[in-house]
Amino acid sequence: MISSLYKKHSITFFYLMLLLVFSHSFISAQTPDMPFNIYLKQASLKEFTAKIEQLSEYSFIYGEEVVLKHPITLDLKETPLTTILQTAFIKQDISFEITKHHIILKKTTSLPIKQHFTLNGYVLDEISKETLIGANIYDQQNKQGTITNPFGFFSITLPEGNTELNFSYIGYGSKQIALYLCKDTLLTVQLKNDNTLEEIVVLSDKMETGFQSSRMGANNIPLTHIKNTPALLSEADVLKSIQLLPGIQGGITGTSGLYVRGGSPDQNLYLLDGVPLYNVDHTLGILSIFTPESVKKVDLYKSSFPARYGGRLSSVIDVRTNDGDMRNYHGSLTIGLLTSRMHFEGPLWKDRTSFIISARRSYADLIIKPFMDKDTKGGYYLYDINTKLNHRFSDRDRLFFSFYHGKDHASFTNTSSYYFEEEKETDTRERQVMAWGSTLGALRWNHIVSNRLFHNITLSYNRFRFNIKNNFTSANKHLDSQYYSGIEDWGLTSDFDFHPSPSHFIKFGGNYLYHTFRPETQHTFVHSPNEQEQPDKTYTIGGNEATHSHEISLYVEDDFKWNEQWKTNIGAHFSLFQVQKHTYASLEPRITVSFKTSPNLTFKAAYTHMTQYVHLLSSSNLSLPTDLWVPVTQKIRPMRACQFSIGGYYTGIQGWEFSVEGYSKITKNVLEYKDGNTLVGNSIHWEEKVEMGKGRNFGIEFMLEKKTGRTTGWINYTLAKADRIFSKGNVNGGKRFPYKYDRRHSVNITINRRLNKKVYMSASWIYASGNTATLPKEKATIILPEGSYGWGHMGNTGNGVVFPIEYSSSRNNYRLPASHQLNLGFNFHKKTKHGERIWNVSIMNAYNSLNPNHVFIDYYTDEQSEGKKIPVIQKVTLLPFLPSFSYTYKF
């Protein structure tokens, strides 16, 4: 039947099939990408769907729950269907899905968008109300965190709802605060000091430094480490503790000098409460000016420098002092072999105003005074004074005033009597006084501008001065002379911390410095009793005119967390330096990238560009007060450095951390004295005596550190190379030569052990390849013409006689032997009714290693060679086995 029907109506079936195929092809051609023209004004959903069905031949499917919030108005030309639907259903709570022949509409439930609020405030010590720098704040609910800035302020933005915050700080018990965040909140959090935690962590793990930080080459030095490190003459010292870190050398054994990654001492930026310092040494570097009792926090940066720092090439040492206890009075008194120290702090107005004062003085001059000859007097002493006032106007405003003054003073007086032919006695008196030191003052205001913006503004003054006064008096003449050099700064700094979101931490600001350089001036005044025959006269012998300069800098940096794996810190530092009607400009990019491959493994890379506008003229390996700070000039250009760093960090073993960092640093316009020139106490025309060249510094640093438990410490090893080259040929004949602090190998082992509640033991073992020195290894012969007079090491030669001289054909041609030593320290604590007593016993160079601090060539007579003089290299050891002790009473 079907077959007969098909035959009867075969033509009809053919046309029907053709129509279906054509119809199917036509419908399939209607795609969402085909453009349409549509115009609607205040149309309902029914009118809109009818219009689309008319244009596209799609049909709509939707239920009664799908309704418009507002009518649809459209005026679109040549617009794809998908775009038309998206435009029509904006803010309508309607979603759509396009199938082969239909458009399906569904009602969507719009979830309310959570608001975000900012929680900000200060983290304080519960008892003293001292602000805590670098305290950690972490939100358990939203997995977000931040830290307090150098003034104890924090800000974190979180979504509305339940929040559980954890506050923690080294040496303090952590604190949890749960709250419902529904508005911007100002919060002051107080943490309780827990003495049992003091020795657990050696180096901190803050966002600015450590494993979790986006930065590399950055360390925070805990005060417990500084106070427990074995110390020369039992004098705990900030800079000597830093010397135990990788990539840092101490120069002459026993001194506090720092040579960071092949850089010179003047390439380190020292900051005291944010104000630059030019001299940080006492007694030729045996002590630094930072007294441990006044210090609250020490940060070190040797690569990936934050953009807010500028003006130096090698490192930044940022020292912050205590603010003072706002609740209770307390202090300490320390008596040592070299100095005595006093520290006292407390409230002037409880919970509003506090003060702190720390003072130190040596007393070698007082001890030796009874043993000196009656006609000879003299001595040496040093002192430091640190004071600070802190006033809290409100939770949003604080005012600080900081003052430091330190001085070294050496004097010598000799009285003599002479008899002339007339047998008349004449008395003469000669006195010399040498003094040098720094004075610093800073007025700082902290203001919380808004919940996310913090502002700090600082007005500062800083001066370093060196004086030598000579006085000679006799019966017929009075002579006074004075030698003077120094540098003076006035500064204004404005810094902002901005927290736009939990993943961004932005810092920006600027700085202005007005410099006055007085490299060297010498005056002599001569007075005669008979003014008619020999009137008074004043002479200016040599000297340089004061040089004034202006330095302006602007910076911005963003510490950005992309996700749990990636962090970056991107910034830029722009500076201008105007001197002698000439202006230098520098744009210094800074970038650090951190990639966390697993919870225990992180890799980092950094690029840093730095510029330095000041130079330190020195002709000695020791840090001497006669070293002169001079600015760049029209002839002497700024020093510049580009540093690339890369590193890896592993914390897979609980309580341990392993790190490796490699660096390459290229410096330009570094200064060296030309061959045959030195400072020799006279810097006149110093620009003509120096040459600008290039430096290369390469190295790799390994560090294994134990951070928890009763025994903490680390071992680190540094492999490094540093050299210089001066193309014009005035230095070392234009050939590359090793820098004077080029040390190939360096090892530091540090151990801190808490034996019991009363006894702490620390030990450090140091090994380092020898420094370089320039020794005369060759001889030449000088023939003087008849009638001339000459002398050599052999003595006076007479007229027209040939004599030999010694000379060096290259710089730093001799490498000193390696040095190593073991230092031990013990602290004995005993609680008393009103405080605590601490005895410190330190042993420097415990096994009396005769390390070479200096070498020279001496000659001895060989009797078997008919009196021939044989050259021998002699070494000088400055620090043999040296025990010491100190006593501290805390109240």
The pTM score is 0.80
pLDDT tens string 278-330: 988 887 678 888 988 899 989 999 988 999 999 999 999 999 999 999 999 99
CATH 2.60.40.1120 in the chain, residues? Answer: 116-197
pLDDT at 434 over 50: yes
CA dist., res. 23 & res. 36, Å (int) = 20
Tokens of 440: 């610093």
pLDDT tens string 753-811: 888 888 999 999 999 998 888 887 776 666 656 555 444 444 444 455 555 667 677 88
Give the alpha-carbon dihedral of 508, 514, 518, 523, to 10 degrees: -150
Mean pLDDT within 843-871: 76
CA dist., res. 189 & res. 135, Å (int) = 11
**Residue found under tokens 């008194």:** 333
Instruction: Specify whether the CB–CB gap between 79 and 38 falls below 8 A.
Output: yes
Percent of the chain with pLDDT over 90: 34
CA dist., res. 487 & res. 276, Å (int) = 12
pLDDT at 625 over 70: no
> What DSSP string runs through 170-182?
TTB--EEEEEEE-
Q: How confident is the model at residue 269 (pLDDT cuts 50, 70, 90)?
A: very high
Beta bridge partners of 299: 220, 318
CA dist., res. 534 & res. 512, Å (int) = 50
Tokens of 431: 């006195």
The residues, any chain, with a CB within 8 Å of residue 833's CB and separated by 6 or more, are: none
733: Cα within 13 Å, side-chain hemisphere: 6
Instruction: Specify whether the CB–CB gap between 734 and 692 falls below 8 A.
Output: no
pLDDT tens string 798-847: 455 555 667 677 888 888 888 899 999 999 999 988 889 999 999 988 99
pLDDT at 420 over 50: no
- Residue 469 has a pLDDT of 83
Beta bridge partners of 598: 601
Mean pLDDT within 419-435: 66
The residues, any chain, with a CB within 8 Å of residue 487's CB and separated by 6 or more, are: 278, 463, 464, 515, 516, 517, 518, 629
Percent of the chain with pLDDT over 70: 81
- What sign does the CA torsion over 128, 130, 136, 137 have? positive
CATH 2.40.170.20 in the chain, residues? Answer: 315-774+810-890
Tokens of 696: 């290369």
Closest CA to 604 of 652, 660, 648, 657: 648
Q: Counting beta carbons within 10 angstroms of the beta carbon of residue 810, is it exposed (0 to 12), middle (13 to 18) or buried (19 or more)?
A: middle
For residue 365, what is the enclosing H or E element?
A: helix 364-368
Pairing of strands 161-168, 94-98: unpaired
pLDDT tens string 99-110: 888 888 988 866
Give the alpha-carbon dihedral of 213, 219, 225, 230, to 10 degrees: 150
Closest CA to 374 of 433, 434, 415, 419: 415
Mean pLDDT within 565-580: 93
Tokens of 60: 């709509």
Q: How confident is the model at residue 664 (pLDDT cuts 50, 70, 90)?
A: very high
Q: How confident is the model at residue 484 (pLDDT cuts 50, 70, 90)?
A: confident
Tokens of 284: 């030729």
pLDDT at 746 over 60: yes
Mean pLDDT within 488-513: 92
> What DSSP string runs through 251-268?
SSTTS---EETT--GGGE
Give the gyration radius of the chain's Cα atoms.
38
CATH classification for the domain delimited by 31-107, as one of 2.60.40.180, 3.55.50.30, 3.30.450.40, 3.40.50.1980 = 3.55.50.30
Tokens of 382: 């040093």
CATH 3.55.50.30 in the chain, residues? Answer: 31-107
**Residue found under tokens 């932005």:** 506
248: Cα within 13 Å, side-chain hemisphere: 28
Mean pLDDT within 643-670: 93
Instruction: Specify whether the CB–CB gap between 615 and 639 falls below 8 A.
Output: yes
CA dist., res. 388 & res. 323, Å (int) = 7
- Residue 371 has a pLDDT of 62
Domain 315-774+810-890 has CATH 1.10.10.60: no
CATH superfamily of 116-197: Carboxypeptidase-like, regulatory domain (2.60.40.1120)
CA dist., res. 77 & res. 35, Å (int) = 8
Over the range 724-756, which residues count as b (16 or more CB within 10 Å of their CB) and which as e? bebeeebbbeeeebbbbbbbbebbbbbebbbee
- Residue 542 has a pLDDT of 54
pLDDT tens string 173-227: 888 888 888 888 888 888 888 755 443 333 333 455 556 677 888 888 888 888 8
